[in-house]
Amino acid sequence: MTTQTLLEQFLKQAERLDVAVFPHGPTPALKEWLDKIRTATGFQEAWVDPAMENSPPFLEEALSESGFQSAFPLEPREIDSSPNVALGVARADFGLAYSGSLAFIKTNPLVTLVPAGLLVVLDAKKILPAYKELFLELTSPLPAILSLVTGPSQTSDIEKKLIKGVHGPKWVAILLHG
Amino acid sequence: MRTRFSLLDTPSPNLQLEANLDNAIAHYFQKRALTLAEIPEYQDLVQRARKIRLDTLNGLPSHLKRFRGVLEGAGVRVIEAKSAEEARRAVFDIAKRHDVKRAVKSKSMLSEEVCLNEFLEESGIEVVETDLGELIVQLAKEKPSHILTPCIHKSQREIAELFSRVFQRDVPDEESAIAELARVFLREKFFSADMGITGVNFGVAETGTLAFVENEGNLRYCALLPRVHVALMGIERIAPDMESLGTLLTVLTLAGTGQRAGAYTTLLSPPEFGRKAPEQDRFFYLILVDNGRSGLLSDPKRRETLACIRCGACLNACVVYRHIGGHAYQAPYMGPIGAILMPGIHPKGTERLGFFSTLCGACREICPVGIDIPGQLLAVREQFFHHAARSPAKGVRYLAFLLASHIGRHPRVVSLARRLVRPMLAIPYIEHVLGWGKARDLPVPASRSFQERFWGDHTDAA
């Protein structure tokens, strides 16, 4: 499967999961998405994963422009019992074309779980077909945590009605580059 | 504490229950059909998954040995629980060792099977269910009625009323308001819990990896936030290698919810499962639960039942389940899979579950690992009759049916019997005293027999 085919499949699944995809750069659409989260949550705090090496400068500017205050996630025991975090920012190690999943190996999983919104930086060349290829990429010893995020946190427990943002992020977006 | 299971202790199913089930299950089938329409290779995947599961079960002792070897070689604490009692005791001992006051728990049918919550609560440990559906049934002091959707029997209005009562506030009849209240309530619990208890979807023999699938994110909280994580895993939930795991994860969500993947798939691998390191005062324990599974495994006719990956699809397909709901089974596993699994691992009080089926075969059609559920149901029935044939009650039943067959041949005796029985059934609650009517209406015999009415009407007409 070519990179282009994988990318197309990935984008198709992301759209179905209601995951916004923005090009890697300062765009009005990104600003609009960030503003939406700031307004909807009323919170300022954004957790930027410390494992996210070389955070693009435009992203820091965009966060600042939308009124976010960046912070690093703390140890779980030091986090407030009901942290009001608007946004998590992390870099995905891989994407999966089959399901639109984002795979995180080094990222602190709380960054992708606690905030109301999640913004993920993904390299288009790191999109793999499915689980099999992802597992082949893992080297021994396997990571203590491999976390896959496939769209917003959700449940259909009440009369099968889809509710987003039950415990994890309600909004997920991808900054795609490469 | 209820550690035995009995059938039909609950009231009869009602129309509201059937409507709730129909609504939820119709939605499931719609979503599943849309997803599978784009995956033409689905049946090939099912065949592959079936082969993986059956091959794994055939060599389970060696896979388990390898799995344990990898884990223990990495210094992971693995506890073997042969029975439900041992599993409960193991969790309690861990809780005591780490001075646990509050535990948060993700959905785990195995914990229901071993009656863990009741045991911990009675031992003074607060247990909070964190899956939204599980929280709802816990607050309602009920049991799950579906493997994947525990509160499938409840309408939104009923849930809003429940939350209003429990949280002492006016909760609107809106799904988002209910979910938001649960989110705020549970978030505080996640961050203050000492221990997280989870099930395990699959354990990988090759790497010692544990795989967890969910949609809400609560499992991830339970596994990662508290300083102690206890994972309960049935001994049959082994995938030999990572490639097999990929196949099983794929069919699990396709069959269970019609999703290509759960919103959260978490793979924890040794030695530091979820970055739990004793030197940082963070601990991980895996409890491998047998609780009757070895017995099923040793029976070549019944082994296939253990291939189940708990997707819950067979419940949705089952006409009996859709009619009576999960509570009527009075067992932690309900529906077709409950009807074949429970008599295998916990025969006492569940022997009759094999008859909760029309044998239509819809469960076999939908099973993502192709378990021949009707065949297994027949095996359960065969075992039931085998045991019943040796029961002292058999002679009494035989005499009762013999007597009934003689009475039936004499219309005047039948008429007399009918007149004798009618006033007895007028006694309030007699049907409950008789036992038969606990889950059904006991019909009162007609005041006149068919023949009396027929000839009477003819005489009147004449």
Q: What is the pLDDT of residues B355-401, one digit of tens each?
A: 999 999 999 999 999 999 999 999 999 988 887 767 666 677 778 78
The residue type found at A124 is: A
Measured between alpha carbons, how far is B21 from B391 in angstroms, rounded to an integer?
38
Single out the residue in B279, B295, B311 at which a domain terminates: B295
CA B156 to chain centroid, in Å, comes to: 22
* pLDDT(B228) > 80: yes
User: Distance, in angstroms, between A26 CA and closest chain B CA?
Assistant: 28
Sign of CA dihedral B109, B113, B116, B119: positive
Chain B residue numbers touching A138 (CB-CB < 8 A):
242
Spatial contact of A148 and A101, defined as CB atoms under 8 Å apart: yes
List pLDDT tens digits, range B80-95: 999 999 999 999 999 9
User: Distance, in angstroms, between A73 CA and closest chain B CA?
Assistant: 13
Do B283 and B400 fall into the same domain?
A: no
What's the mean per-residue pLDDT of chain A? Answer: 92
Contacts with A, B 86-145, CB within 8 Å = 130-133, 136
The answer to whether residue B312 is domain-embedded is: no
Nearest CA in chain A to B253: A99
Chain A residue numbers touching B28 (CB-CB < 8 A):
160
Chain A residue numbers touching B269 (CB-CB < 8 A):
141-146
> A131 and B250 in contact by Cβ < 8 A?
yes
Query: End-to-end alpha-carbon separation of chain B, Å?
Result: 67
Neighbours of B78 (CB within 10 A): 15
When pLDDT is averaged across residues B166-178 and rounded to a whole number, the result is 96
Helices (H) and strands (E) in chain B, counts: 21, 10
Single out the residue in B248, B280, B295 at which a domain terminates: B295
The answer to whether residue B90 is domain-embedded is: yes
Neighbours of B89 (CB within 10 A): 15
% of chain B at pLDDT higher than 90: 73
> A150 and B262 in contact by Cβ < 8 A?
yes
What residues does B202 pair with on adjacent strands?
A: B211
| B457 interfacial to chain A (CB closer than 8 Å) | no
* pLDDT(B11) > 60: no
Chain A residue numbers touching B183 (CB-CB < 8 A):
165-167
> B178 and A160 in contact by Cβ < 8 A?
no
Q: Which residue, chain included where needed, has tokens 């009901």?
A: A82
Between B132 and A75, residue with greater pLDDT: B132
> A131 and B273 in contact by Cβ < 8 A?
no
* pLDDT(B9) > 50: no
* pLDDT(B347) > 60: yes
> B156 and A158 in contact by Cβ < 8 A?
yes
Spatial contact of B67 and B74, defined as CB atoms under 8 Å apart: no
* pLDDT(B449) > 90: no
Give the range among A9-18, A66-75, B216-225 with minimum mean pLDDT.
Answer: A66-75
> B243 and A132 in contact by Cβ < 8 A?
yes
| B263 interfacial to chain A (CB closer than 8 Å) | yes
CA distances from B447 to B247, B376, B405, B419 (A): 62, 44, 21, 8
- Confidence band for B160, pLDDT divided at 50, 70 and 90: very high
Nearest to B30 by CA among A169, A13, A160, A17: A160
Nearest to B228 by CA among B77, B114, B108: B77
Q: What pLDDT does residue A73 have?
A: 66
Q: Tokens for B110, please give them.
A: 């195995």
List pLDDT tens digits, range A103-121: 999 888 899 999 999 999 9
List pLDDT tens digits, range A27-49: 999 999 999 999 999 999 999 98
Single out the residue in B273, B295, B317 at which a domain terminates: B295
Spatial contact of B422 and B433, defined as CB atoms under 8 Å apart: no
Architecture of domain A3-177: 3-Layer(aba) Sandwich (3.40)
Q: What pLDDT does residue B7 have?
A: 46
Residues whose CB is less than 8 angstroms from the CB of residue B178 and which lie 6 or more positions away in sequence, other chains included:
A158, B156, B159, B160, B163, B171
Nearest CA in chain A to B190: A81
Q: What pLDDT does residue B6 have?
A: 47
What CATH number is associated with residue B130?
3.40.50.10420
Q: Which of A158, A163, A164 to mutate to test the interface with B (most CBs of B within 10 A)?
A: A158
| B157 interfacial to chain A (CB closer than 8 Å) | no
Q: Which residue, chain included where needed, has tokens 């939930």?
A: B237
Spatial contact of A103 and A92, defined as CB atoms under 8 Å apart: yes
Chain B residue numbers touching A84 (CB-CB < 8 A):
none
List pLDDT tens digits, range B12-71: 446 778 888 888 899 999 999 999 999 999 999 999 999 999 999 999 999 999 999 999
The pTM assigned to this predicted structure is 0.87
Measured between alpha carbons, how far is B369 from B51 in angstroms, rounded to an integer?
8
- Confidence band for B3, pLDDT divided at 50, 70 and 90: very low
Measured between alpha carbons, how far is B74 from B207 in angstroms, rounded to an integer?
10
Residues whose CB is less than 8 angstroms from the CB of residue B127 and which lie 6 or more positions away in sequence, other chains included:
B103, B105, B116, B117, B120, B121, B197
Q: Which residue, chain included where needed, has tokens 């090939």?
A: B44
> A113 and B221 in contact by Cβ < 8 A?
yes
Q: Which of A142, A146, A158 sits opposite B178 (nearest CB)?
A: A158
Measured between alpha carbons, how far is B302 from B296 in angstroms, rounded to an integer?
6
> SS3 for B104?
strand
Nearest CA in chain A to B268: A145
| B83 interfacial to chain A (CB closer than 8 Å) | no
Measured between alpha carbons, how far is B215 from B2 in angstroms, rounded to an integer?
30
Residues whose CB is less than 8 angstroms from the CB of residue B187 and which lie 6 or more positions away in sequence, other chains included:
A81, A82, A167
Q: CA B430, B435, B437 angle in degrees (round to 5)? A: 70
> B263 and A151 in contact by Cβ < 8 A?
yes
ipTM rounded to 2 decimals? 0.96
CB burial of B10-27 (b: ≥16 within 10 Å; e: otherwise) equals beebeeebeebbeebbeb
Helices (H), B78-227: 84-97, 109-113, 116-122, 132-139, 156-167, 175-192, 218-224
Q: Which of A113, A159, A167 sits opposite B23 (nearest CB)?
A: A159
Between B417 and B137, residue with greater pLDDT: B137
Between B233 and B434, residue with greater pLDDT: B233
Q: Which residue, chain included where needed, has tokens 């609780």?
A: B291
The answer to whether residue B457 is domain-embedded is: yes
User: Distance, in angstroms, between A20 CA and closest chain B CA?
Assistant: 16
> A142 and B207 in contact by Cβ < 8 A?
yes
Chain A residue numbers touching B187 (CB-CB < 8 A):
81-82, 167
Measured between alpha carbons, how far is B105 from B97 in angstroms, rounded to an integer?
18
Q: What pLDDT does residue A139 have?
A: 85
Spatial contact of A88 and A115, defined as CB atoms under 8 Å apart: yes
User: Distance, in angstroms, between A91 CA and closest chain B CA?
Assistant: 16
Spatial contact of B346 and B339, defined as CB atoms under 8 Å apart: no
> B175 and A150 in contact by Cβ < 8 A?
no
The residue type found at A113 is: L
Which residue range is the domain that position B413 belongs to? Answer: 394-461
Q: CA A69, A66, A51 angle in degrees (round to 5)? A: 45
Measured between alpha carbons, how far is B365 from B370 in angstroms, rounded to an integer?
7
* pLDDT(B462) > 90: no
| B52 interfacial to chain A (CB closer than 8 Å) | no
Q: What pLDDT does residue B434 have?
A: 57
Torsion of CA B190, B196, B197, B203, to 10 degrees: 120
What's the mean per-residue pLDDT of chain B? Answer: 90
The answer to whether residue B203 is domain-embedded is: yes
Q: CA B79, B80, B86 angle in degrees (round to 5)? A: 100
List pLDDT tens digits, range A117-140: 999 999 999 999 999 999 999 988
Q: What pLDDT does residue B8 have?
A: 45
Nearest CA in chain A to B267: A146
% of chain A at pLDDT higher than 70: 96
The answer to whether residue B301 is domain-embedded is: no
> B267 and A142 in contact by Cβ < 8 A?
yes
> SS3 for B85?
helix
Give the number of A-B residue pairs with CB atoms closer than 8 Å: 171
Nearest to B133 by CA among B125, B122, B120, B142: B142
Q: Which of B31, B41, B134, B183 to mutate to test the interface with A (most CBs of A within 10 A)?
A: B183
Chain A residue numbers touching B227 (CB-CB < 8 A):
77
Spatial contact of A140 and A18, defined as CB atoms under 8 Å apart: no
Domain count, chain B: 2
Do B285 and B144 fall into the same domain?
A: yes
Q: What pLDDT does residue B342 have?
A: 97
The answer to whether residue B324 is domain-embedded is: no
